[in-house]
Structure 1
Amino acid sequence: MIRRHPLTLAAAAALLAWLSGCAGAQATAGRPRPPLEAASTSAAETPAAARVIVERGVEYTRAGGEPLLADVLRPDPPVAARLPAVVYIHGGSWKQGTREQGHEFLPQLVATGRYVGVTIDHRFVPAFPWPAQLHDAKAAIRWLRAASEQYGVDPRRIAVWGESSGGQIASVLGTTGGEAALEGDLPLPQGFRPPGTPLSSRVQAVVDFCGPTDMADFFASATTPEAVADMHGRLDPLFGGPPPERADLARSASAIHHVDAQDPPFLLMHGTRDDVVPFRLSAAMHEALSRAGVPSVLVPVADWGHGFRGAEIDRRVLAFLDRHLWHKAAAVSGEPVRAERTPD
């Protein structure tokens, strides 16, 4: 979400209890892997009961000499030698948060045996204004394709999933697959040989939870003095100044202005009572995608604010990914859904 806090001690303890057991893995030739963890996932919570193997702290690129890290979650056993992957981008107002937030969302998918999950860190404002965050996410997609054999990933089937500010990054990533000016030039990690052809940062599906898709409209949604001050606190560091004075940057950060017929399918979920990012932004994005002929599903989270979790929400995400990454005849309902709680 736009403002997130680290995991509470109770949530961290619960996660550690859940991520129990141990497992090993073969090291890739010449490149030792970080330690692995094994997690067992309750069959009552997921459609399958595969274990989730977690590999933490994998470097996916370097920016300014500093490593950017990912955690990789893999099923044991997988249903196939090569699986689709889902890359999660955390929220936090572009200034805070960690990849650990993805561990609340990805294990349920991975435990089906049908997906590899990746949750990434990215650079923060004000030290790194836009489009650094987009460049980081695109670098993660390119790295995952380069490492696809190592992790059992099908490089032709990669989705991105983001929440709040992470949803904004994910949606722009999804709509700018062919825009070289926004690609960035972050390298593969040391030890990876560049392939003979350029690696693509295109994705094949996007899940956006309550992310702002039109930054000018997002900025204009603040109407009280307190809200305007709060909005400046969020967006001025992102753009290096007030959005109206950085109109080109704000437009480049607005997925709605990049929509075209080549975009991947979108699942947009948004609380109807969101007082941080207005619901109308996702509704407008859905309309723009639909006009362009892009498959899009908008799911209102009824009577709910910013950030949401629930079993039916998980089912909708799984149905969407199964439909577009496994080509299953899965119905993805746009009917309103009820949330059960906010994310931990």
Structure 2
Amino acid sequence: MVSVETDLLYADAGGVQLRLDIHRSAEPAAPVVVYAHGGGWTRGDRRTDATTRVAPLAACGVTVVAVDYRLALDAVFPRQLHDLKGAVRWLRANGERLGLRTERLGVWGASAGAYLGSLLALSEGDSALEGDVGGNLDRSSAVQAVVHWFGQADLAATAGRSAVEARLLPFHFEADLLGAGGAGGAGGAQSLAERARGLSLLTRVSAQAPPFLIAHGDRDRIVPPAEGLALHDALSRAGGSSRFELLGGAGHEDPLFDAPANLALTAAWLRAVLG
């Protein structure tokens, strides 16, 4: 049976209290994965998906730590990434006290959270993206496994919609995240491209990347499945370990991702990789 410890404060970031919830597996010495929620970087919190996704995965033998991170528009990137790295360091500093295995950690993200979690995994040693949120700077923010669900791989690509697409999908999440002042107009697009330069996951892959499990729906109209496949291909070409799952009939944030079979597959992969 899954037990839950809630509202643990892991950092105070500029007056914003950042908290996490631990969904503890009943399995002895279960591996631990950090969960970063979706919501276009503008909404959601650590309680998002708790009952439909997080707790059911914990029931499959993986302890899940769902974390808060600061949201756009109040916080411009890379503060969100600084928060997640701070949460990983906090877990390592407190793992023994909490009875958690934190020497090898995974990160699991959905949509916007998948991009952040993947960038966390691919930016080890990048001082500009590390930050000092929560302290514990003597601890590593590296992760050893990544589950990437229907997330972006290249922010400029997913933001670069045609005029028709922009009317059908009238959001500008990427511009909000990067503080590019909206996606409309040539000036906005140029500003977004400049800020997104160097933040594409595709340019950061290497043979040293941790193993990735990438899942996308073939009917995703928000983040095209080509984004997930491009990340998988880039990792494979670089000599990294990557598995790509295409869910037939699934759209963005589709309930099929939370189906028992898919959660069991995800948990089994995490247990195998994290040991």
TM-score, normalization by structure 2: 0.89
* Equivalent position to 2:78, from 131, 144, 153: 131
Is 1:237 the counterpart of 2:176? The answer is yes
* Equivalent position to 2:17, from 67, 85, 88: 67
Contact 2:217 2:251 in 1 (8 A): yes
Displacement of 1:100 after TM fit?
1.0
State the one-letter code of the partner of 2:252.
Answer: H
Unaligned runs of 5+ in 1: 1-50, 189-193, 327-344
Alignment match, 1:272: 218
Contact 1:131 1:253 in 2 (8 A): no
Higher helix proportion, which one? 2
- In structure 2, do the counterparts of structure 1 residues 228 and 244 end up closer, same or farther at CA, with 3 Å as the change threshold? farther
For residues 84 and 143 of structure 1, the distance between their equivalents in structure 2, rounded to whole angstroms, comes to 16
The aligned length equals 264
Alignment match, 1:202: 142
Displacement of 1:57 after TM fit?
0.7
**Structure 1 residue runs of 4+, over 3 Å off?**
228-232
Bigger Rg, which one: 1
Alignment match, 1:319: 268
State the one-letter code of the partner of 2:152.
Answer: P
Contact 2:159 2:175 in 1 (8 A): no
For residues 292 and 226 of structure 1, the distance between their equivalents in structure 2, rounded to whole angstroms, comes to 32
Alignment match, 2:54: 106
Displacement of 1:181 after TM fit?
1.8
Displacement of 1:281 after TM fit?
0.6
For residues 108 and 232 of structure 1, the distance between their equivalents in structure 2, rounded to whole angstroms, comes to 31
Q: Which aligned pairs between 1:239-258 and structure 2 lie closer than 5 A?
A: 239-241=178-180, 242-258=188-204
Displacement of 1:203 after TM fit?
0.4
**Percent of counterpart pairs with the same letter?**
38
- Encode CA deviations 1:238-265: one digit per residue, 9 max, x unaligned: 1111353143431343222211121100
- In structure 2, do the counterparts of structure 1 residues 123 and 271 end up closer, same or farther at CA, with 3 Å as the change threshold? same
Q: Secondary structure at the match of 1:298?
A: strand
State the one-letter code of the partner of 1:218.
Answer: T
State the one-letter code of the partner of 1:53.
Answer: S
TM-score, normalization by structure 1: 0.72
- In structure 2, do the counterparts of structure 1 residues 243 and 294 end up closer, same or farther at CA, with 3 Å as the change threshold? farther
State the one-letter code of the partner of 1:129.
Answer: V
> What RMSD in Å do the two structures reach over aligned CA positions?
1.9
State the one-letter code of the partner of 1:223.
Answer: S
- Encode CA deviations 1:300-337: one digit per residue, 9 max, x unaligned: 011221013212211220221122012xxxxxxxxxxx
Q: Secondary structure at the match of 2:172?
A: helix
